[in-house]
Amino acid sequence: MNKIYDMYKTLYKTYGAQGWWPITSYGYHKGKYNFPRNTDEIFEVCLGSILTQNTTFASVVKSLNNLHVKNALHVDAIESMDINELKEAIRPSGYFNQKTEYILEFIKFYKSLKGATPTREALLHVKGIGEETADSMLLYGYNQREFKVDAYTKRLLVELGFADEKTKYRDIKSLMQNSLKECIKDEKELLITYQEFHALIVEHGKRYYSKKPYGVGCFLKTTIFCNPQP
């Protein structure tokens, strides 16, 4: 029995396809896996991945909508914006001074790629991009098989006994990826599973893991998915 994969199937059966990453001009694309469809949409995912640091995705949507109204969801438009205008547009996401700096640094890197897919290592050398942000960009922006671990993922796995508070990002990521690879051999299916599983954890996390005490009412705790620690 692969408890991680069974957990994915249970969450999918409960919540269905999530259609992540949502694109401002389209919305969530449940059951459609041909996104992003162009370089502007790739950039929007990367931009959103920076904005979502230390905030809710609902706040990110507000910031992206502000930029969309200004027709500024592409590189050239943001580069030409007055910096204070950019800060004001992304204010809903919080830390707007810091994130403005990160966005402008990322744009330099993004342009240097000339349309190529970045490596994870290269992304991690860009100021403001850590493991979670890099994996978000790669998984949803570039359709690379890099599982994204967020706070909800760790809270869920800690509550179910698969990890503890000291478990590092890379170890949680390895657990998720190795478990799924055991059951899924097709590369496209594996990519879709990574994308859906993270989004499903977010949906589940919003309901059961957003406030302490975490996990109150979580139906996964009453099933076979718990992994009691010795």
Per residue in 158-195, pLDDT (tens digit) is: 999 999 999 999 999 999 999 999 999 999 999 999 99
Calculate the CA 21 to chain-centre distance: 8
Say whether pLDDT at 86 is over 90.
yes
Q: At what angle do helices 57-69 and 39-51 cross, to 10 degrees?
A: 130
- How many CB atoms are located within 10 Å of the residue 53 CB? 19
The confidence score (pLDDT) of residue 1 equals 79
Q: At what angle do helices 187-208 and 169-183 cross, to 10 degrees?
A: 130
pTM for the structure as a whole: 0.95
pLDDT band at 229 (very low <50, low <70, confident <90, very high): low
Judged by DSSP in three states, 26 sits in: coil
DSSP string over 158-223: HHHTS--TT--HHHHHHHHHHHHHHH---HHHHHHHHHHHHHHHHHHHHHHSSSSSTTTT-GGGGS
Helix (H), strand (E) at residue 67: helix 57-69
Distance CA 132, CA 49 (A): 9
Distance CA 134, CA 115 (A): 17
Mean of pLDDT values over 27-46: 97
Distance CA 154, CA 209 (A): 10
Say whether pLDDT at 128 is over 60.
yes
The confidence score (pLDDT) of residue 227 equals 62
Judged by DSSP in three states, 104 sits in: helix
Average pLDDT, the chain: 96
| Share above pLDDT 70 across residues of the chain, in percent, rounded to a whole number | 97
Structure tokens, 214: 């975490």
Q: How far is CA 160 from CA 103, 203, 209, in A?
A: 36, 17, 12
First to last CA, the chain: 19
Helix (H), strand (E) at residue 156: helix 151-160
Mean of pLDDT values over 199-228: 90
The confidence score (pLDDT) of residue 222 equals 84
pLDDT band at 142 (very low <50, low <70, confident <90, very high): very high
The confidence score (pLDDT) of residue 122 equals 99
The confidence score (pLDDT) of residue 223 equals 77
